Structure 1
């Protein structure tokens, strides 16, 4: 808001006031409406500069209407002859003529307003909650139309009439309805707070800079409003940006939770599988333990049964002899007695039972031995089951590979589908391009990888020598090569049919079951991991950990020389069998 002090009076520059309505020429003033006695809306007759009913209204070239005294005084105090509404400049200064049409309309309005004052108030509405009520109304408080900074009073349309018609009140400063008008006035100078002191961050009146805020940095309240409003828009944009960032963070966290849940479900399933297998192994060991105990008990019972049966048989024979002795004792025939005595006296062959006994089997250490055996068994079973579950997990990262003939050593022979390679006895005449191996029987896959995870399987059945793994794309492919991570090779090999090594520099001997037929290779690029599996037995053969790749990786194959047919079987890239 810009204030001008002219002849000790404060007037308003209306470049910040939105006019209620000044397009009077568009209003159709008919005699029928006048005859009906209908009073027009007050806003249609207000000058946007003094906010009062037009006095000697004039129309300037841009079409806007003002009181003649208002626009004349405005142009007298400004070098540029601009319209206060649209800011259009005029040169030279336009001549001002009273618009008789609008004057007649204003006069008619004044007459009707004086004769029918209740009509204006009848169309007004009572102040609703949140709206500023009229300070003059008694009974029902009507809605405030304007607040006066001089009277410190808010007026409805009816009670505002004196400020629009009386010359003394027309100079009062009217603003849009506000509450607590006292807060809009300087308590010291009793002037409207129209300036803003940037030094003290407070609103001040026009007289404050002279005494209390001397040499301070101050601006018009409107300018500060515009500046703070722009800053508020920036703050709002920043706030919305922060809200958006937090919403995205919520989505990120929710995705993380979902991924965590999926990982937890997967690990739970794997754990259930592992522990189920281990529990089954424990149950089998328990059953075997109980069977051993019962077997010993059954053996003891069988021995006792055999002894008892033999003893009962001897008792039966002894009873028979006892009967014969008893009968012979009662015999009075001397001849018969003497003849039978020798037979009866001779005892049948009997076992000596003095040193024979059934001893309970010893169970000392049986439980300990069973637990120890179970521990060893569980350790092996755990490795097998855990690695088996791990192998199933990494197999989901299977990639479809084909061999790259442009990298093949000239002695190598590829299948038509580029899935198999073996060593031939004849060296082919091939161009020595930069990609081709020239000193070792090696070949690379066409596919390269520089992120994430991948897995593939190779059949090595029937071979006595081979190399498998992954290599950096930038490796040296000419002449003899040394297989180790320092040179960009992460491989394992077989030599002489049973010598397995990891080319870790120095080489690491591997314990691999004989008859290895299929090797799985898994790479986690981000984790720096290269692992090799015995697919058929689900056993981890070896892992390179903490690898630093920093380049594309390519699968690497070497079927090794033919050796007169003893190593003629091919290396075969096979699809993963998920059954």
Structure 2
């Protein structure tokens, strides 16, 4: 019998819908086989008539007929399976014969009339006796009493779709009269088909989730590599800067030391010359003192030339000027060196700024990976606001539009929210504000007061704005002025819900504008646009939600 199983693998006779051995097999025009009940239930639950296996679509529902040849082959196969497992003791979890007394053999069939399960030997009377042949035999099951109607003591052979329960034939003419009932076999096939579809949907959801996990892990790896590279570049720049400063400091210290030594040598030389002159002058003073006490007229007159002051002395005020000039030269040299150091520092600063700007650009590129498709919700728009049909363009009109009363609609601020709200994770979107003289962009919580305008942070707004064409501010409490090098034409808004962060970027220059940090979010956040009023026509340019272009 083992060879029979090898020649006839069970997979060849399985229905791909219920995954059981075929019952009343049907062959579709494309050549695939299914249980009659399974394929009927499948086609009934789908709009298109197509093969569950190859997805071939049929313009007209095929007329199903049982493949009698295949049915005989399947029945023969089932007989082989039965013979292979007959006369073996019932294993744990298998249905045992209720008649066996010594060794409980595995049951081959269960009788719905006798409410008893039989092995092959004890089943033989049901296959021989005419009265027993009329009994309904099913595959062996336990607790046969549960398969009988409690009220009529008849097999539960039907399914009431009205009350979603199993019933017997007598129930259809009593408690379930007029209800929609179908054979258990048919309902089984349709339920199997439904379970198969549900399983496929769940498997697709699992695959999508696994793919998302893979993408997130890949993003984490890229982020870690980018962070490590940026860290190494910044360390290199700062190391170069520190070494340059140390080298410049050493050069200045050395130059000052050399100038100081030269000044000391000059001072020592001058002091020595002065001491010599002082000695000579003291000698002459002594001689003059002696001559001043002499009474010899001739001696005094003969010694008169020595009364003249010495002519070899230096002009010490000039020497002092020379010393000041020497000091001025030292300051001049230091000034020149200072200029050189400043120039080197300026070059290093420029290089550092380039690295930092590149780092900011890489940071923005990383955030753009969290881009979401944002569509503005016209049901929330202030009556002055006009929202385009695709929800991507917002502009301010000069007259209020006639709208039905709506609690979601803004009445105080000329603003509009997006349809999409976010209560976890990270998201990013971009909006064009080119040509506008006033605007307000960011996110707002779902429960914001849309009738009364109070301070933004108290009402759950995290935004930046341009007012009066030149004043850029973050809407903190109080507002924080923003000093921007250029006028942004496209803004990027990034939100990290769990970290409590909302950041704004100038997309064209790839530079950071402002960040709200340490926020606590407890409800959904919605992208928020406020195009401001347009009283004089100078602020007529629209605000446009643009696709995110992750430029390299």
Question: Same fold by TM-score, threshold 0.5 exceeded?
Answer: no
TM-score, normalised by the number of residues in structure 1 = 0.40
The structure with the largest helix share of the pair is 2
Q: Which of the two has higher C-alpha Rg?
A: 1
TM-score, normalised by the number of residues in structure 2 = 0.42
